[in-house]
Amino acid sequence: MPHVEIKCYPGRSEEVKAKCAEEVTKAIAETMGCDASSVSIAITEIEKDDWKSKVWDKEIAPSMESLYKKPGYTCD
């Protein structure tokens, strides 16, 4: 029952977000060997000015050791 939460800056259309969720669902189902119906995906928009405090400091930086895909940027 994989669940994915995608956080991004605002500005993408509902169609783009739906396509992203569809493609991520396909990749997870194929790679992890589960049914697409078992996958859930949330997309949350975070304002650029809030990214460091709401995402980087609380989720990315503390989890750096367990990230399989690390970001190519820092928020120093």
Chain centroid to CA 5 = 5
Q: Is 2 a catalytic residue?
A: yes
The most distant pair of C-alpha atoms in the chain lies apart, rounded to whole Å, by 40
Identify the structural domains of the chain with CATH numbers, from first to last: 1-45 (3.30.429.10), 47-76 (no CATH)
Please give the backbone phi and psi of residue 14, each rounded to the nearest 5 degrees, phi first.
Answer: -60, -35
Q: What is the pLDDT of residues 25-76, one digit of tens each?
A: 999 999 999 999 999 999 999 999 999 999 999 999 999 999 999 999 999 8
C-alpha span between 36 and 2 (Å, rounded):
9
pLDDT at position 34: 97
CA quadruple 10, 18, 68, 5: dihedral sign: positive
pLDDT at position 50: 98
Judge if pTM exceeds 0.85: yes
The one catalytic residue among 2, 10, 62, 71 = 2
